[in-house]
């Protein structure tokens, strides 16, 4: 029950294995008769070239390493899906390692990928500095997804979180809201920091005073957001809208309001960030900043593909766009809710 090798094909077709290799890869012309015999034998035995041997011989493994962050977020899942889809029709396959959003863990994951001689690297999010990355990845083609690494050499595919936070907040302000609560993301995540920066920018630009007491703790989970909004309600502070740093947090906020019988959007408006699948089916459907997660994964994997073929690629800044649905209402003038 031996697996069939290129030599077996060569024997059957009465040629040398060099010739078999040549027709399989089309690297040189071969006499039509021999080519036919080889193809016939290949087909007859269902011969599958050993990718491992091939990789060793020509130095290209046809695999690309993907560093994921196993944080169970639909956003990161969608990126991974996009990567898989983007590579689907190429000869490359993705191999995944989890970095757990933790520096040392990420470093060893990348080392493992390099040990497997991946031809390129896709880094999704993570905690590594630009220096870390250039030091470890050396000359390996690498693309960073879903965050911007401040280094001239590293191509990134990411969305402008500051802008996203800005347009969401501005939309609320344009609808008459002034007392807007913000549910933060994880403090150490750049995404979270940027979205908050956008939030602040919209306030400053509108000349509205930002009430620090309305900036709530959050960690990107629904449960934490629910707690924070609960606390906010108990504080009796006035607020007419909530901007959540991601959709999960918006879900948590919405549930907290539901529990207290506070109507959305009649009494309180909500805006999220991500536009995950379920958001369009929240009651009411959630107005949120759409991040093209799957497209990012797709784009990045194709870009890496280009990079491998010597074409240059420069960082790509995507803009999130506001998906206007039904969770935001124009604030009725002169009748501020919960006065």
Partner DNA sequence: AGCGTTTCTGAAACCGGTTTCAACCTGCAA
Partner DNA sequence: TTGCAGGTTGAAACCGGTTTCAGAAACGCT
CA distance 289 to 270: 11
> What tokens appear for 10 in the block?
């060569």
Q: Are 313 and 307 in contact (CB under 8 A)?
A: yes
Give the shortest CB-327-to-its own copies separation in angstroms. Answer: 12
Out of 39, 45, 50, 100, point to the residue binding DNA (CB under 7 A).
Answer: 50
Q: Does 90 bind its own copies (CB under 8 A)?
A: no
Q: Does 176 bind DNA (CB under 7 A)?
A: no
CA distance 153 to 282: 41
Q: Which of residues 55-94 bind DNA (CB under 7 A)?
A: 56-59
Give the shortest CB-198-to-DNA separation in angstroms. Answer: 48
Q: Does 11 bind DNA (CB under 7 A)?
A: no
Question: Which residues are 142's β-sheet partners?
Answer: 121
Q: Does 24 bind DNA (CB under 7 A)?
A: yes
Out of 26, 32, 72, 310, point to the residue binding its own copies (CB under 8 A).
Answer: 72
CA distance 3 to 26: 23
CA distance 88 to 108: 27
Binding mask 125-144 for its own copies (x = CB under 8 A): --------------x-----
| CB-based contacts of 291, cutoff 8 Å, min separation 6 | 75, 159, 164, 273, 274, 275, 318, 320
Partner whose binding site includes residue 29, from DNA, its own copies, none (CB under 5 to 8 Å by kind): DNA
Instruction: Using alpha carbons, list the distances in angstroms from residue 16 to 3, 11, 23, 34.
Output: 18, 7, 11, 11
Q: Does 112 bind DNA (CB under 7 A)?
A: no
Of 184 and 279, which CB lies nearer to its own copies in the complex structure? 279
In the block, residue with structure tokens 């536009």: 275
CA distance 184 to 221: 10
Partner whose binding site includes residue 15, from its own copies, DNA, none (CB under 5 to 8 Å by kind): DNA
Q: Does 25 bind its own copies (CB under 8 A)?
A: no
Give the shortest CB-99-to-DNA separation in angstroms. Answer: 24
CA distance 171 to 184: 18
Q: Does 27 bind DNA (CB under 7 A)?
A: yes
**Where does residue 287 rank: exposed (0-12), middle (13-18), buried (19+ CB within 10 A)?**
buried
Find how far residue 99's CA is from the centre of its chain: 14
Out of 4, 114, 200, 237, point to the residue binding its own copies (CB under 8 A).
Answer: 114
Residues that bind DNA (CB under 7 A): 3, 5-7, 14-22, 24-25, 27-31, 34, 47, 49-50, 53-54, 56-59
Residues that bind its own copies (CB under 8 A): 1, 48-53, 55-56, 61, 63, 68, 70, 72, 74, 77-78, 80-81, 84-85, 88, 93-98, 111-112, 114-117, 139, 222, 226, 248, 251-252, 254-255, 258, 276-278, 280-285, 294
């Amino acid at each position: 029950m031996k697996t069939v090798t290129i030599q077996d094909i060569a024997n059957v077709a009465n040629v040398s294995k060099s010739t078999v290799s040549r027709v399989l890869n089309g690297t040189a012309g071969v006499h039509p008769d021999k080519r036919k015999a080889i193809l016939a034998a290949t087909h007859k035995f269902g011969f599958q070239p050993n990718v491992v041997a091939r990789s060793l011989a020509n130095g290209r493994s046809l695999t690309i390493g993907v560093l994921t962050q196993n944080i169970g977020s639909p956003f990161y899942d969608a990126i991974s899906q996009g990567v898989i889809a983007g590579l689907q029709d190429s000869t490359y396959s993705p191999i995944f390692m989890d970095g757990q959003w933790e520096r040392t863990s990420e470093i060893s994951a990348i080392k493992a990928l390099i040990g497997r001689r991946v031809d390129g690297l896709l880094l999704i999010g993570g905690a590594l500095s630009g220096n870390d990355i250039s030091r470890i990845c050396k000359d390996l083609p690498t693309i960073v997804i879903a965050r911007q690494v401040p280094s001239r050499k590293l191509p990134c595919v990411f969305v402008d979180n500051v802008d996203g936070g800005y347009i969401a907040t501005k939309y609320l302000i344009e609808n008459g809201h002034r007392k807007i609560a913000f549910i933060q993301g994880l403090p150490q995540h750049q995404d979270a920091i940027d979205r908050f920066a956008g939030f602040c920018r919209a306030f400053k630009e509108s000349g509205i005073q930002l009430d620090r007491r309305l900036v709530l703790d959050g960690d990107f989970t629904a449960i934490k957001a629910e707690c924070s909004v609960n606390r906010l309600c108990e504080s009796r502070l006035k607020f007419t809208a909530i901007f959540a740093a991601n959709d999960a947090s918006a879900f948590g906020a919405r549930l907290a309001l539901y529990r207290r019988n506070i109507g959305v959007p009649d009494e309180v408006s909500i805006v999220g960030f991500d536009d995950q699948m379920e958001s369009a089916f929240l009651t009411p459907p959630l107005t949120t900043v759409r991040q093209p997660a799957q497209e990012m994964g797709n784009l990045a994997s194709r870009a890496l593909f280009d990079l491998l073929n010597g074409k240059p690629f420069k960082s790509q800044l995507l803009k999130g766009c506001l998906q206007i649905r039904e969770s935001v209402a124009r604030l009725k003038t002169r009748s501020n809710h919960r006065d």
